[in-house]
Amino acid sequence: MIKAARLEEIETLLRGASFLSTQQIADALGVSGATVRRDLDDLGSAGLIDRVHGGARLVTDPDRGQEDALAARDPHAEPAPADEPFDEVLGRNSETKQRLAAAAAELVAEGETLFIDIGTTVYEVARLLSGRHLTVVTNSLRVAEALGDSAQVRLEILGGEYNREYRCTQGQAVLEGLGRLHIDRAILGCSGITEQGTVRDTDASQAAVKRAAVAAAGDSTLLADASKLPGIGAFTALELSALDRLITDAPLPSALERHLSRTSLEVLVP
């Protein structure tokens, strides 16, 4: 497919969805994720789409041009990052991520079985747990890399369909694998949290993995810095009320705080 045809097809796909991940677009077009990222950059530069972490969405009025599209966003909000390499995203807000990760790692007792989600913040948790006597279940290849050389950690990698965009596994095999396990503690990340307490994700398959992990776990913790409030994500992963605690780095928006006051969720701000 030539480039002009791909760009037109991407716009058509986005008209039928509020958000599509880079991987979803690549699968639909039968091209690589790198090709889609370049195409999305071109469409974003033309003001036809909004580039957001994990993919893109169509702007409300494609005729207003790039400058008007940018001006229509919250002027105080940082631009949403595009699909950047994991290591570059890892370096953003690294001190905050490490502080949240340290608080989560302190909750973990020796000998526990953990599920560790995908994402850069929970990856920091994995790095802190290297050398401890634990069983770690994950679908994240980056988490596996962080713990693979630790002789004390028993590592179980959930097999399934490989997601190149997020460097993880997904699909029915992952969900069934989680369903066969008893997990002491699930440590999760997310793309956003609404004021009504809905945990958002940019990928439907990963949203399903989060739900399965919480169902299998005796205790569940979500890590989300202030940029995730409300964050992004077209897919509902779960409700905060289904979790045991939230670890964040700033006071919650007032509407979300009022909503959570009616739940038993513990909120930690280290």
pLDDT of 78-129, one tens digit each? 444 444 555 555 555 579 999 999 999 999 999 999 999 999 999 999 999 9
Distance between CA 164 and CA 187 in Å, rounded?
A: 22
pLDDT at position 52: 75
Same domain, yes or no: 175 and 59: no
- For the chain, the distance separating the N- and C-terminal CA atoms, rounded to the nearest angstrom, is 50
Residue whose pair of structure tokens reads 């009025």 in the numeric block? 61
Domain boundary among 83, 117, 144: 83
For residue 12, what are the domain limits? Answer: 3-83
Domain CATH code at residue 249: 3.40.50.1360
Is 145 found in the same domain as 162?
Answer: yes
Are the C-beta atoms of 197 and 240 separated by less than 8 Å?
Answer: yes
Nearest to 242 by CA among 202, 211, 269: 211
- Tell me, yes or no, if the pTM score tops 0.75: no
**100/223 same-domain check:** yes
Q: Which of 50, 83, 116 delimits the end of a domain? A: 83
Domain count, the chain: 2
From CA 207, how far away is CA 233, in angstroms rounded? 10
How far apart CA 26 and CA 156 sit, in angstroms, is 29
Same domain? 142 vs 70: no
CB 101 within 8 A of CB 122: yes
